[in-house]
Chain A
Amino acid sequence: MRELFAAPEHAGVLDDATRSEIEDQGVRISLYADIRAGVVRALRFQAWGCPHVIAAAEAFCDTYEGRPASEMLEFTATGLMQSLSVPVEKTGRILVLEDAVRSLGSAAGGASSPDD
């Protein structure tokens, strides 16, 4: 978790990208996805929250680049909760990320790009 928090390589925004934004549980998350031919080419995030939220957002972006966009619809935070040793009292905050990812997946369902 500390490494992901300290050097979040996917922090930032993507212009002209599919986007989702959620604010809940004292957490704010924005996700940006460059999706071409149904594949996630690039992901970026912005987040305001505790270190676990930021690390989880970075971990998601790192994991889902190159995967089918449809997989985001089935994203669950359970794996990240375990791999990042997220304290149980922070479950609600990590579920905000889950909601943001699924929202991004939904938005991506209708998204297209010049290369499609």
Chain B
Amino acid sequence: MAESQELIYLDYAASTPVDSSVARAMTDLMTADGNYANPSSTHAAGRSSVAHIAHAADQLGRLLNIDPGTLIWTSGATESDNLAILGAARYRRDRGRHLITMRTEHKAVTDPFAELEKQGFDVTWLEPESNGVLDIAKLEAALRQDTQLVSIMHVNNETGVIQDIERIGALCRAQGALFHVDAAQSVGKVPIDLEALPVDLMSMTAHKVYGPKGIGALYVATRPGVHVDPLLFGGGQQRRLRPGTLPAQQIVGFGMAAEVARSRMAADLDQLTALRDQFWSGIRDIPGLLRNGDSEMGFPGILNVSIEDIEGESLLLALEPLCVATGSACNSKSQEPSYVLRALGRSDALAQSAIRFSFGRNTSADEVDIAIGLYRRAVNKLRSLAPGGAT
């Protein structure tokens, strides 16, 4: 990172650097030599801007194997989640008011569900197994005739656990419930074929996949009964589902990021797997270390570990100059133990000691070696500082 050569960034699940080809595509569009026109304008420059946006939608559409017309541009995954959950629940409220989600979802999902509960909807909160994976039988038992929406994330942002969205979606479809997937951590990182998957709504964001911050999308399947009520009004853009001037340069950036991701996904996954395994091999023998989340059904870019008898905030500070996360980035400023890890059955103390290491394209094997050394040293230091510790 430019600010300090000493920093080692292992927080790619929080955000990624913008790919250089993405930055170029965006810059080209923003300057006076490019096309900065409002895409809603009817003049030639406006129409050109529309063409750039259409090209970006094609790029994202190819990544996900969908008709680009099924995409609604948003400000990011949080807005997409809100639009999907609030919008679908309100659109279908006359058919039923039962909704299902999991305790381990991102706050961008749990908070809209909590809001719907306040508005009289009946929400079933499914608990994960201790490895973070959803037992499909629990979902099967929870589905009802009046269930209108099920929302289960693809890759968990804290643990990296991957849910079987194909089986979950099939169950939802059989029951007539819409299926929403928060795919903020998976789009562009793992293969997703929405033509084949029984998914009705999918939230995504650019900045987790080497695109810019401030742009996301919601996929809305073209299937009878699949629709969302808008949350915003004014202007009528995007079929009145999400009005507002489209940020062409952000969208172009997302499109380019999707194209890059598609071209190198297999290589990325190989690299991440090697880095994750290297890191785990380097720390796994530390006494009291526990891996959070299923080691088999996990995205290789994320490794979450707890450690016995270590205070989490001190561990995080002792790890500097490593840039890592306690819990999710959204939770990191609070000292509350991660609700995701508590749902996996971890004690408050273990959840509070958890560190999420997340790797990316720019992570090197040398950096992982340094990170291994820093983690081991930090643990030894804090244990030696503690009453009864070695001195």
Is residue B146 within 8 Å, beta carbon to beta carbon, of the partner chain? no
Q: How far is the CB of A87 from the nearest CB of chain B, in Å?
A: 9
Which A52-73 residues have C-beta < 8 A from chain B?
A: 54
Complex: A13 Cα to B41 Cα, angstroms = 74
Residues of B within 8 A of A49 (CB): 311, 314
Cα–Cα, bound, A46→B390 (Å):
10
Asked if A12 and B391 sit within 8 Å, CB to CB, the answer is yes
Q: Is A38 an interface residue (CB 8 A)?
A: no
Report whether A8 and B386 are in contact in the complex, using a CB–CB cutoff of 8 Å. no
* Residue count of chain A within 8 Å CB distance of chain B: 19
Question: For A12, what are the chain B residues with a Cβ–Cβ distance below 8 Å?
Answer: 391
Nearest Cβ distance between residue A64 and chain B, in whole angstroms?
A: 19
Q: How far is the CA of A8 from the CA of B309 in the complex (A)?
A: 19
Contact string, A1-24, partner B, CB cutoff 8 A, digits 1/0? 010011010011100000001000
Q: Inside 8 A of A51's CB, which chain B residues have their CB?
A: 313-314, 317
Is A37 among interface residues, defined by CB-CB distance under 8 A?
no
Q: A12-B391, A13-B391 given as contacts; is B385 within 8 A of A54 (CB)?
A: yes
Contact between B386 and A28 (Cβ–Cβ < 8 Å)? yes
Q: Return the chain B residue nearest A48 by Cβ.
A: B386
Question: Which chain B residues lie closer than 8 Å to A89 at the CB level?
Answer: 335
Nearest-neighbor residue (CB-CB) of B317 within chain A: A51
CB nearest neighbor in A for B309: A48
Known: A12-B391, A13-B391. A46 touches B385 (CB 8 A): yes
The distance from the CB of B320 to the nearest CB of chain A, in whole angstroms, is: 8
Q: Which of B313, B314, B318, B389 contacts A46 (CB 8 A)?
A: B389
Is B234 on the interface with A (CB-CB < 8 A)? Answer: no
A46 to B386, Cβ gap below 8 A?
A: yes
B388 lies within 8 A of chain A by Cβ? yes
Rounded to whole angstroms, the CA-CA distance of A21 and B388 in the bound complex is 11
Interface size on B, residues (CB 8 A): 15
Residues on A with C-beta less than 8 A from B311 are 48-50
Are B317 and A48 touching (Cβ within 8 A)?
no
Question: Are B386 and A47 in contact, CB atoms less than 8 angstroms apart?
Answer: yes
**Please, which residues of chain A bring their CB within 8 A of the CB of B391?**
11-13, 46
A40 within 8 A of B: no
Interface residues of B in 303-351 (CB under 8 A from A): 309, 311, 313-314, 317-318, 335
B384 within 8 A of A: yes
- Give, as a whole number of angstroms, the nearest-CB distance from A103 to chain B: 14
Cα–Cα distance between A92 and B130 once the two chains are bound (Å)? 33
The answer for the CA separation of A30 and B382 in the assembled complex, in Å, is 14
B120 partner residues in chain A, CB cutoff 8 A: none
Q: Is B224 an interface residue (CB 8 A)?
A: no
**In whole angstroms, what is the CA distance A49 to B385 when docked?**
10
Interface code B359-386, partner A: CB below 8 Å = 1, 0 otherwise?
Answer: 0000000000000000000000010111
Q: Are B387 and A46 in contact (CB under 8 A)?
A: yes
Kindly report which residue of chain B lies nearest to residue A47, judged by CB atoms: B385
Chain B residues 249 to 283 lying within 8 A of chain A, measured CB to CB, are none
Instruction: Report the separation of the CA atoms of residues A2 and B317 in the bound assembly, to the nearest whole angstrom.
Output: 8
Provide the residues of chain B in CB contact with A108, threshold 8 Å.
Answer: none
Complex Cα spacing A51 to B316, Å? 9
Q: A48-B311, A49-B311, A50-B311 are in contact. Are A11 and B385 (CB under 8 A)?
A: yes
A29 within 8 A of B: yes
Give B388's nearest chain A residue, CB to CB.
A46
Q: Which residues of A contact B386 (CB under 8 A)?
A: 28, 46-48
Expressed in whole angstroms, the Cα–Cα distance for A70 and B385 within the complex equals 26
Nearest opposing residue in chain A for B312, CB measure: A50
Bound CA span A52–B386, Å: 14
| B288-311 interface code vs A (CB 8 A; 1 in, 0 out) | 000000000000000000000101
A-B CB proximity, top 8 nearest: A48-B386, A30-B387, A46-B387, A12-B391, A50-B313, A51-B317, A28-B387, A51-B314
- List 10 extra interface pairs beyond A5-B314, A5-B317, A5-B318, CB under 8 A: A6-B318, A12-B391, A46-B385, A46-B387, A46-B389, A48-B385, A48-B386, A50-B335, A51-B313, A51-B317
Residue pairs across A and B with Cβ atoms less than 8 A apart, 8 shown, are A11-B385, A11-B391, A28-B387, A48-B309, A48-B386, A48-B387, A54-B385, A89-B335
